[in-house]
Amino acid sequence: MQDWDLLLTDASIATMSSGGAAYGIIEDAALAVVDGQIAWLGAMADLPALHARETVSIDGRWLTPALIDCHTHLVFAGNRAAEFEQRLKGATYEEISRNGGGIMATVSATRAADASTLAGQTASRLQLLMAEGCATIEIKSGYGLDMQTEIRMLEVARRVAASCGISVRTTFLGAHAVPVEFCGKADAYIDLVCEEMLPAIHESQLADAVDAYCEPIAFSTEQVGRVFQKASSLGLPVKLHADQLSDSGGAELAASFNALSADHLEYTHFNGVKALAKAGTVAVLLPGAFLTLGETKLPPVNQLRDESVPIAIATDCNPGTSPVCSIRTTMALATSLFRLTPEECLAGVTRNAARALGLNDRGRLEVGMRADIAAWDIGHPQELSYWIGTNELTDLYVAGRRPGQ
Ligand code: NIG
Ligand code: FE
């Protein structure tokens, strides 16, 4: 008889599988792991009598899929608290950006930081997310805007995640802003992104996907289209910062390239929602940025629901618009700001977040999936989007192991 590596007993399990009961709940349950994957789960009463190398009683607590933060800018140097204060005195994000602050301020700081400084600051933020149950995180470049710094950012992202023992998906965001060297020459910068940066990034295998910022203060749909064309020709999946500050046709553009996700979407119109639905593109909502920018235009949540567009939520952790290093706070914000239900929030950081990253081996607790599991001292999984500032995580398993063990 085959041994199990790990057996978790006496648990309530929220599988987050779609289509079944709310949260996919199995009460009085057990879960077994072999080779980092879920080999069995079900009611304790049906537990086959197999030997397990390690058995852990969950003592009636809850197991959920480990959480996934599918949109972050975790690698950056410095912060923009001064700009935050300026905004609260009346300056807008766009004004600060047009005056050389905003993303460009972080670009200067990040270019000046060496890899070990960047790694140290990134690791602190990553550990906060892990401490709240994240086992997979997406990290973008985009504060280098030159080959050397973009590559440094992606390398740091991979290295820090490996040393912390969690999964990372890296995203090349070269088309985040026009760097000072290309001031007034956005098209020439896009040429550089397409002709030099993307081929080098592809060759180095440092990026799992390609993102861009489609907005009047950043790049047009035509410019982003060129980046996406090139990324697609290299076999790299795409995603987009779309319709955050204006309806720039971002959702339709993302859908036309079968993007993994279209993110932000505050200003997306119904045609954009329809296009996302048709393409199977995930809508990633970012309540931390909405809160920090004091936005009032809500993303079209009801239309996304009506059209069955999968909704994910993420921290968007970045120094400018979302200085948020908490996935749990993000879940709570998504309920209060966007009126997502606690179940939608949990799906948004598990099943749908996995899909937003093109990962079909996690985000649900099912046989054959990776054993990325979070254990919580709660009475019901709806509490994960309800409490603010608490942390009920008691254990995190990444591919069946506690990170660091
Ligand atoms: O996701 N919108 C563009 N990118 C970031 C902001 C980056 C910054 O301001 O540093 C975002 O909101
Ligand atoms: Fe972002």
Q: Is residue 404 part of a domain?
A: no
Q: What is the pTM of this model?
A: 0.97
Instruction: Kindly give the confidence (pLDDT) of every residue in the chain, 405 residues in length, as a single tens digit, with 9 standing for 90 and above.
Output: 569 999 999 999 999 999 888 999 999 999 999 999 999 999 999 999 999 999 999 999 999 999 999 999 999 999 999 999 999 999 998 899 888 889 999 999 999 999 999 999 999 999 999 999 999 999 999 999 999 999 999 999 999 999 999 999 999 999 999 999 999 999 999 999 999 999 999 999 999 999 999 999 899 999 999 999 999 999 999 999 999 999 999 999 999 999 999 999 999 999 999 999 999 999 999 999 999 999 999 999 999 999 999 999 999 999 999 999 999 999 999 999 999 999 999 999 999 999 999 999 999 999 999 999 999 999 999 999 999 999 999 999 999 999 987
Same domain membership, residue 26 and residue 104? no
Q: Is residue 128 part of a domain?
A: yes
Query: Nearest CA to 33 among 284, 386, 373?
Result: 373
Same domain membership, residue 188 and residue 47? no
CB-based contact 301:311 (threshold 8 Å): yes
Same domain membership, residue 255 and residue 223? yes
Same domain membership, residue 370 and residue 283? no
Q: How many CB atoms lie within 10 A of CB 232?
A: 15
Q: Is residue 402 part of a domain?
A: no
Same domain membership, residue 231 and residue 221? yes
Tell me how far CA of residue 230 lies from CA of 4, 146, 148, 182, 216, in angstroms.
Answer: 46, 18, 20, 20, 21
Q: Is residue 393 part of a domain?
A: yes
Which of the listed residues 71, 73, 110, 111 should we mutate to test ligand 1's pocket, taking the one with most ligand atoms within 8 A of CB? Answer: 73
248 lines ligand 1 (CB under 6 A): no
Q: Is residue 339 part of a domain?
A: yes
Same domain membership, residue 127 and residue 272? yes
241 lines ligand 1 (CB under 6 A): yes
Query: Nearest CA to 395 among 133, 153, 156?
Result: 133
Residue 321 CA, ligand 1 centroid: distance in Å: 6
Same domain membership, residue 345 and residue 371? no
Same domain membership, residue 161 and residue 12? no
Which structural domain, as residue segments, surrounds residue 282?
67-356
Same domain membership, residue 278 and residue 151? yes
- Closest ligand 1 atom to residue 103 Cα is 10
129 lines ligand 1 (CB under 6 A): no
CB-based contact 60:10 (threshold 8 Å): yes
Predicted local confidence at residue 405, as pLDDT: 73
Same domain membership, residue 370 and residue 268? no
Residue 41 CA, ligand 1 centroid: distance in Å: 40
Query: Distance between CA 187 and CA 201 in Å, rounded?
Result: 20
Q: Is residue 50 part of a domain?
A: yes
**Nearest ligand by distance to the CA of 214:** 1
**Nearest ligand by distance to the CA of 292:** 1
| Burial of 46 per CB tally in 10 Å (0-12, 13-18, 19+) | exposed
Q: How many CB atoms lie within 10 A of CB 320?
A: 25
* CATH number of the CATH domain containing 195: 3.20.20.140
Structure tokens at 230: 């090139």
* CATH number of the CATH domain containing 372: 2.30.40.10
Which of the listed residues 83, 99, 104, 213 should we mutate to test ligand 1's pocket, taking the one with most ligand atoms within 8 A of CB? Answer: 213
Q: Is residue 220 part of a domain?
A: yes
To which residue do tokens 């807008």 refer? Answer: 92
Q: Is residue 405 part of a domain?
A: no
Same domain membership, residue 156 and residue 106? yes
Residue 322 CA, ligand 2 centroid: distance in Å: 8
Counted domains in the chain: 2
Same domain membership, residue 33 and residue 131? no
318 lines ligand 1 (CB under 6 A): yes
